[in-house]
Amino acid sequence: MAVYVQKFGGTSVGSVERILAVAKRIANSVAAGNQVVAVVSAMSGETNRLSALGAELSAAPAAREMDVLLSSGEQVTSALLSMALTDLGIKARSYLGSQIKITTDSSHQKARIEHIDPENLLSDLNNGFVPVVAGFQGVNSDGDITTLGRGGSDTTAVAIAVALQAEECQIFTDVDGVYTADPRMVKDARLLETITFEEMLELASLGSKVLSQRSVEFAGKYATPLRVLSSFSNEFPGTLITNEETSMEKPVVSGITYSRDEAKLTLLGVPDIPGVAAKILGPIGRENIEVDMIVQNVGADGMTDFTFTVKREAYDHALNVLEKIKGELGASMVIGDKTIVKVSVVGVGMRSHAGVATIMFDALAEESINILMISTSEIKISIVIAERYMELAVRSIHKAFGLSDKAVSEA
Amino acid sequence: MAVYVQKFGGTSVGSVERILAVAKRIANSVAAGNQVVAVVSAMSGETNRLSALGAELSAAPAAREMDVLLSSGEQVTSALLSMALTDLGIKARSYLGSQIKITTDSSHQKARIEHIDPENLLSDLNNGFVPVVAGFQGVNSDGDITTLGRGGSDTTAVAIAVALQAEECQIFTDVDGVYTADPRMVKDARLLETITFEEMLELASLGSKVLSQRSVEFAGKYATPLRVLSSFSNEFPGTLITNEETSMEKPVVSGITYSRDEAKLTLLGVPDIPGVAAKILGPIGRENIEVDMIVQNVGADGMTDFTFTVKREAYDHALNVLEKIKGELGASMVIGDKTIVKVSVVGVGMRSHAGVATIMFDALAEESINILMISTSEIKISIVIAERYMELAVRSIHKAFGLSDKAVSEA
């Protein structure tokens, strides 16, 4: 029998009615002959309620105790879903992280899984039980409760799927899957049937609403098929994330993603000598400012303009740092812009297809959209443009690659 | 250093403010040179909230899962109190039942403690930590979470006090201690400084609002001093429950207790032959009706009247049973009364003092209160009277034994 790990997020178990609906979905899967392990998040709102209690008590709550506090949310859901399953005549049993020995390191609130002992789960599955695992939590070598940080329940599900060599790890959420572009922006965006782990990681803005990067990396590392699908609808099979390129001819571009939360800073007239990049980015890094894109243009006069992007909230901080080091570096001026966005096209197909950049740049030129920065990787091309052009840019690139029409996109 | 186990009930930790107050109280105790283990209940209302969720999901929630669900309430409080203590500069660490190996049998929702491993607690105490234990919960030999049933956090506290051979197990609650009578009924009821375990067990109506019978029995069995005191006030030292009769001259009567929730049934004209009591109480017991007092009067005519009391809610049920067996027993008539109450005086002193009953009956006679039934044990005399006389009876007996005036009561 095939083992499926099914993970249900906060909104999927956000009420008694939703928990009953999830129980029925699992019951159907069991009736279809599958072995199912369920992994659950805290009911939506519960983690916030608990965090607020902690914050009221202490300005800097002890990390060990925050984990004890927050992990209770998933514990409650695991018990409730087990009750609901039992009521439907499905044998079920809840498990905390400590009970199936999800051992982690001791980094409270962002622990990393070191080992899972699948013995209890396997014995339950073989005896016809549905184990219902409280996500997000583990236990360290001292027996203390740990939590896995943001998206932790996804990580729990993937780790269990890996340990059980499951057929699929299914992440049930409140969206139908991964689209070729944000459906709120591009009316005819298409639901992707499959996508590779690599593409999913690069499609940050599309993907992070759906799945944590960490769980995608984890599943990719062990080649465990990951499926994102809706717990609110039975209509869509969701999006399968695998290593395999299942289509004979993989589309050149799988999806378009964007990020509004960007700002760029430029040091003008920096002497073009070895080590200058480190002299600029060193002080930025020491202030814990994260840098995304970096572009350096070499001028004819032995001077260079050095540009990089940061999160918008870090803009003022980064500007201060640059103003301070400007003199020492011999730069002529610092300029910046907080009204920029990043738009990226992603696809493993572009590895073997020349001309992807041309299609993208042509589409933008046709709309008279000026490109401020360009950065490329093996399976991704990112550009920075003025914020006001974002929707127009995403839509015209989506159209240029024929992403809404499947037949055309199989380039 | 003396070890104190301090248990805080639901209202004592019912809000962020209350938890902070409890943390300060513990900090003071630590500053006074004591080693403290805290045991906490769920925040007031939380257990009901969780039970309601379970009840919404299932008419008969799986007992194993109810324990997983409900135990999360104490878990939350243990984390919050640990945070609050840490913020006050007191080293603190929360513990679940499973983490200090409070092993129990597998009777979910009413498990009995089999063993506690004091190692973690002792090592914490020796390192200057305050362990904050989630009450009410344990773990069975399979590693499943169990809960201890009503008053379970008291039981946890006593068990830990026994395991650590603590100086005292202090139960902080929302009353000042144990009074000679219900202070709402008897204006000048006096707070008892000390009382014996035996008396506390007999003082059901006064005691059960304060402490579960089970925790009193448990502490008594191991002679662990138990103190009931208010978490809302520092004024009163509370009531100490011990084996020792600390006063040279123990008062004859320690307190007066009552129960409103009573009804009596009488079978008139039953042939007075061996086995008749069993023939009456057998069918009652098989219907799971609990019987409290039993009185049998032998008549001169070889017939007897057989009277017993039950809880009021069981009255109609018991009446039905008697009507059915009446003919078989040859009884002439079944009569009953649902408007009766039980009033009891309790005191280990009455063992060695004759005349306690006389004082009690005289006091009632003076108020023209008719006694309907009498039952006595070594340290308790109970009477049944009409409900309308209850307050008058309690007040007049309280006065007759001089309970409000300490000097007089040291008979």
Q: Of B305 and B411, which is predicted with more confidence? A: B305
8 Å CB contact of A57 and B20? yes
For chain B, the residues whose C-beta falls within 8 A of a C-beta of chain A are 16, 19-20, 50, 53-54, 56-59, 61-62, 64-66, 68-69, 71-72, 75-76, 78-80, 82-84, 86-87, 92-94, 96, 98-99, 143-145
What's B387's DSSP letter? G
pLDDT of residue A5: 98
A151-180 confidence digits (pLDDT tens): 899 999 999 999 999 999 999 998 889 999
pLDDT tens, position by position, B255-279 = 999 998 899 999 998 887 777 888 8
Looking at CA atoms only, how far is residue A148 from chain B in angstroms? Answer: 17
Q: Residue B232 has what pLDDT?
A: 86
Per-residue pLDDT at B240 exceeds 50: yes
Q: How much is the pTM?
A: 0.83
Q: For position B87, what pLDDT does the model report?
A: 95
Q: What pLDDT score does B352 carry?
A: 72
* Angle in degrees, 0-180, between the axes of helices B46-57 and B63-87, rounded to the nearest 10: 150
Residue A297 has pLDDT above 80, yes or no: no
Distance from CA of B96 to the nearest CA of A (A): 9
Tell me which residue in B16, B58, B72 faces A76 most closely, judged by beta carbons.
B72
pLDDT given at position B407: 41
Question: What mean pLDDT is predicted for residues A299-315?
Answer: 86
Q: How far apart are CA A221 and CA A244, in angstroms?
A: 13
Query: In sequence order, what DSSP letters do the residues of A260-305 get, joined into one string?
Result: EEEEEEEEEEEE--TTHHHHHHHHHHHTT--EEEEEEEE-TTSEEE
- Please answer yes or no on whether A57 and B96 come within 8 Å at the CB atom: no
Kindly state the average pLDDT of the residues B391-407. 86
Average pLDDT over residues A105-125: 94
Count the residues in chain B.
411
Residue A332: its pLDDT value, please?
Answer: 87
pLDDT band at B301 (very low <50, low <70, confident <90, very high): confident
pLDDT higher than threshold 90 for residue A81: yes
Q: Does domain B3-174 have CATH number 3.40.50.11540?
A: no
Judging contacts by C-beta atoms under 8 Å, the chain B residues touching residue A88 are none
Q: Which among A5, A67, A10, A57 is positioned nearest to A35, based on CA atoms?
A: A5
Q: Which residues from A are below 8 Å from B92, CB to CB?
A: 62
**Nearest by CB to B54, which of A54, A61, A83?**
A83
Confidence at residue A247, expressed as pLDDT on a 0 to 100 scale: 55
Which residue from A minimizes the CA distance to B51? A80
B68·A19 Cβ contact <8 A: no
Q: What angle do CA A64, A68, A73 make, to 5 degrees?
A: 140
Residues 6+ apart with CB under 8 A from A120: A95, A99, A100, A131
pLDDT of residue A300: 66
Segment B166-191 mean pLDDT: 91
pLDDT in tens, A199-249: 898 886 666 567 888 899 999 999 999 999 998 887 778 999 998 665 555
* Nearest in space to B82 (alpha carbons), one of B19, B30, B128: B19
Q: Which residues of A touch B19 (CB under 8 A)?
A: 57
pLDDT in tens, A135-145: 999 999 999 99
Alpha-carbon gap: A47 to the closest alpha carbon of chain B (Å):
12
Q: What is the pLDDT of residues B31-78, one digit of tens each?
A: 999 999 999 999 999 999 999 999 999 999 999 999 999 999 999 999
Residue pLDDT, tens place only, B85-107: 999 999 999 999 999 999 999 99
The distance of Cα A197 from the centroid of its chain, to the nearest Å, equals 11
Kindly determine whether residue A20 and residue B69, on different chains, have CB atoms separated by under 8 Å.
no
- Counted residue by residue, chain A has a size of 411
Is pLDDT of B387 > 90?
yes
More confident residue, A47 or B407: A47
Measured between CA atoms, the residue of chain B closest to residue A80 is B54
Beta strands in B220-290 (DSSP E): 226-230, 239-242, 255-271
The Cα–Cα gap between B112 and B115 comes to 9
User: Distance (Å, rounded) from C-alpha A372 to C-alpha B79?
Assistant: 51
Q: How far is B83 from chain A (nearest CA, A)?
A: 6
* pLDDT tops 50 at residue A410: no
Q: Is A75's CB within 8 Å of B75's CB?
A: yes
Edge to edge, the sheet with strand B3-8 lists B92-95, B130-134, B35-40, B3-8, B168-173, B226-230, B239-242, B194-196
Mean pLDDT, rounded, of chain A: 90
Chain A residue numbers with beta carbons less than 8 Å from the beta carbon of B71 are 75
* pLDDT of res. B357: 87
| Structural domain spans, chain B | 3-174, 255-409
Residue A288 gets the label, from left (phi > 0), alpha (psi -120 to 50) or beta, of left
The percentage of residues in chain A with a pLDDT greater than 70, rounded to a whole number, is: 94
Residue of B nearest to A76 (CA): B69
The CA radius of gyration of chain A, in Å to the nearest whole number, is: 24
* A-interface mutation test, from B18, B67, B80, B132, most A Cβ less than 10 A away: B80
DSSP string, B167-185: SEEEEEESS-S-BSS-TTT
- Model pLDDT, residue B363: 92
Identical fold at A3-242 and A255-402?
no
Q: Which residues of B touch A57 (CB under 8 A)?
A: 16, 19-20, 80, 83-84, 87
Check residue B408 and give its pLDDT: 36
Q: What value does the mean pLDDT take over residues B326-336?
A: 90
Does the structure show a pLDDT above 50 at A67? yes
Q: In the predicted model, is pLDDT for residue A96 greater than 90?
A: yes
ipTM over 0.85 threshold:
no
Going by the DSSP 8-state scheme, the letter that residue A410 receives in this structure is -
Q: What tokens does A290 get?
A: 């994260």
From the list B72, B83, B86, the residue facing A75 with the nearest CB is B72
Dist CA B11 CA B204 (whole Å): 21
What is the model's pLDDT at position A408? 36
Max Cα–Cα distance, chain B, nearest Å: 79
pLDDT for res A213: 85
pLDDT of amino acid B113: 95
- Please determine, for residue A396, whether its predicted confidence score (pLDDT) is greater than 80: yes
Whether A68 sits inside 8 A of B75 (CB atoms) is yes
Cβ neighbours of B102 in A, within 8 Å: none
Chain A CB contacts of B24 under 8 Å are: none
Q: Of B218, B209, B192, B233, give the one whose Cα is nearest residue B348.
A: B192
Residues of A in contact with B53 (CB under 8 A): 16, 76, 80
The reported pLDDT for the residue numbered A269 is: 87
Across the range B10-32, mean pLDDT stands at 96
Q: Which of B331, B340, B334 is nearest to B374 (CA)?
A: B340
Distance from CA of A35 to the nearest CA of B (A): 21
CATH of domain A3-242: 3.40.1160.10
User: Which of B80, B92, B99 comes nearest A53 by C-beta?
Assistant: B80
Q: What is the pLDDT of residue B278?
A: 85
> For B307-318, what is the mean pLDDT?
94
A11-15, A337-341, B297-301, B337-341: least confident range = B297-301
Q: Which of A72, A98, A109 to mutate to test the interface with B (most CBs of B within 10 A)?
A: A72
pLDDT of residue B279: 87
Cβ count within 10 A of residue B117: 13
Looking at residue A250, what is its pLDDT?
Answer: 62
- List A145's β-bridge partners, or say none: A139
**How many A/B residue pairs have CB atoms within 8 Å?**
111
What is the C-alpha separation between A6 and A92, in angstroms, rounded? 14
Q: Judge whether A183 and A175 are in contact, CB under 8 Å.
A: no
β-pairing, A333-346 with A255-271?
Answer: antiparallel
pLDDT band at B249 (very low <50, low <70, confident <90, very high): low
User: B199 near B377, Cβ under 8 Å?
Assistant: no
Number of C-beta neighbours around residue B248 at 10 A: 6
The pLDDT, as a whole number, for residue B386 is 94
Q: Which residues of A touch B (CB under 8 A)?
A: 16, 19-20, 50, 53-54, 56-59, 61-62, 64-66, 68-69, 71-72, 75-76, 78-80, 82-84, 86-87, 92-94, 96, 98-99, 143-145
Q: Select A255-402's CATH number: 1.10.150.170, 3.30.2130.10, 1.20.120.530, 3.20.20.105.
A: 3.30.2130.10
Which range has the top average pLDDT, A61-75, A277-291, A395-409, B368-382?
A61-75
Taking CA–CA distances from B86, the nearest residue in chain A reads A62
Joined tokens for residue B185 = 């009924």
Contact B120, B163 (CB under 8 A): no
The band of B210, judged by pLDDT with boundaries at 50, 70 and 90, is: confident
Instruction: Check CB contact under 8 Å for A79 and B16.
Output: no
**HEC string for B79-132:** HHHHHHHHHCCCCEEEECHHHHCCEECCCCCCCCEEECCCHHHHHHHHCCCEEE
3-state secondary structure of A3: strand
- Provide the pLDDT confidence category of residue B411 given band limits of 50, 70 and 90: very low
B82: closest chain A residue by CA: A65
The alpha carbon of residue A142 is apart from the nearest alpha carbon of chain B, in Å, by 10
Helix (H, G, I), strand (E, B) or coil at A210: coil
- Taking the domain B255-409, which CATH number applies? 3.30.2130.10
List, for residues A5-28, the tens digit of each pLDDT value. 999 999 999 999 999 999 999 999
Q: Of B59, B65, B92, which has the smallest distance from its Cβ to A94's Cβ?
A: B65
Neighbours of B405 (CB within 10 A): 12
- What's the pLDDT score for residue A205? 62
Nearest CB partner across the interface for B87, out of A58, A83, A93? A58
